[in-house]
Amino acid sequence: MLVGLLGLQGAFLDHIPHLKRCGVDAVIVRDIDAMEAIDRLIIPGGESTVMAKFLDEFGMRAPLLRRIDDGMPVWGVCAGAILLAEQVDDGHSGSLGVLPVAVRRNAYGRQIASDTQLIDIPVLGLRAYPGIFIRAPRIESLAEGVKVHALRGKDPVFVQHAHIMATTFHPELNRDDWFHRFFLDIESFRNTP
């Protein structure tokens, strides 16, 4: 299995030690050829507007959407969740728009308000997991069929829709591999005609 890390901007390198411990190869994806070679993709935390701009500048948006539509598993972390969302900040269309949720950027405050919250994650059998929230988005609504795997208070912070996964916090900044292993186990989804 070859896991891609979208390397246009953001904290993609932090995922590499986790993937190595999981026994899979990782490649930094900065062009269409690399995107075509991977089996699944992690879109890291960073600046969602910058990543969206680079996806367009490098002609990668349409090929990425095709790969996701063809069933490639994808995980959006923080800014990556914003890119995947259908709606951002009061109804604006999301950049990729493949995850049927609405999000609000920086919902918990700016950089100075970043913090660690203890959250329960039943699907992983974890209690009081230290979720690291850095200028995190808030998932404000979601469509039927989106599974909520974890909450911060009443806010979903770990969701999944078929082969698309999103966390509004940063599991890659912890030393465990729970989330990476979960992502590696997500089945590819194939649309049937």
For 89-183, strand residue ranges (E) read: 92-93, 99-104, 115-121, 126-133, 138-142, 147-152, 155-161, 164-167
Cβ partners under 8 Å of residue 190, min gap 6: 70, 71
User: How far is the C-alpha of 90 from the C-alpha of 82, rounded, in Å?
Assistant: 13
User: How far is the C-alpha of 133 from the C-alpha of 110, rounded, in Å?
Assistant: 11
140 is catalytic: no
User: How far is the C-alpha of 40 from the C-alpha of 73, rounded, in Å?
Assistant: 5
172 is catalytic: yes
47 is catalytic: no
**Residues 15, 78, 149, 163: which is the catalytic one?**
78
Contact 44, 14 (CB under 8 A): yes
**Residues 161, 163, 172, 180: which is the catalytic one?**
172
Contact 140, 103 (CB under 8 A): yes
Contact 71, 191 (CB under 8 A): yes
Catalytic residue ranges: 78, 170, 172
